[in-house]
Amino acid sequence: MEFFLDTADVKVIREFKETGLINGITTNPSLVAKSGKDFKKILKEISKMIKGPISAEVTAIDCKGMIAEAKILSNISKNIVIKLPLTEEGLKACKILSSKKIKTNVTLCFSAAQALIAAKCGATYISPFVGRLDDIGENGMNLIREIKAIYSNYKNIKTKILVASVRTVDHVIESGMIGADVVTLPPATLAKLYKHPLTDKGLKAFLDDWKKTNQKIL
């Protein structure tokens, strides 16, 4: 399973890149607004650091506008993936871009039916929002199971399941158990993956014992 970092903060991306855990990046208009920086400049900076997929979202709501914006965004770097809303116009744009071999990430997916039609339109990635479903009392991970079950029935479906709106470590674990292709994580959630109180306790015990030996490796 691949890990994408869900942020437009170049500094944070640079820090996490050193862990070797990051396979790609996802951004959205909200994250860009939070950064306070120029969108195109951000994408250029990220593409210099990350060789994997970088999702950049269009802001037009009509197919023609989405295609025009996609052309501009895809020219920034060869690893830009065009992020499209799961609307009728977004699916039209997905079909056109996919026919031109331009990678797409269809976002704001909240049902298996939506995921199915996105795959039929040739989406490279489908982004189901599990956390937002949890917020309204539904089990977001059940949607991942449904999509995985449907996609697994058809060898011609190449769309990858990109689990989005990830809030907890359990979301990540369940995604791996289900067999999702990608999870995109906010930095704080990714950091939690390598945290455990017993790890901290064990390390302290080792270091305390080592100190008693009065030895040094360097």
Positions annotated as catalytic residues are 83
182-185/2-6 β-pairing: parallel
66, 16, 31: which is closest to 164 by C-alpha?
31
Place of tokens 């890990």: 3
161 — alpha (psi -120 to 50), left (phi > 0) or beta? beta
- Contact assessment for residue 20 and residue 32, using Cβ atoms and an 8 Å cutoff: no
CB atoms within 10 A of CB 147: 25
Q: What are residue 167's phi and psi, to 5 degrees?
A: -115, -25
Quick check: 45 and 38 in contact, CB under 8 A?
A: no
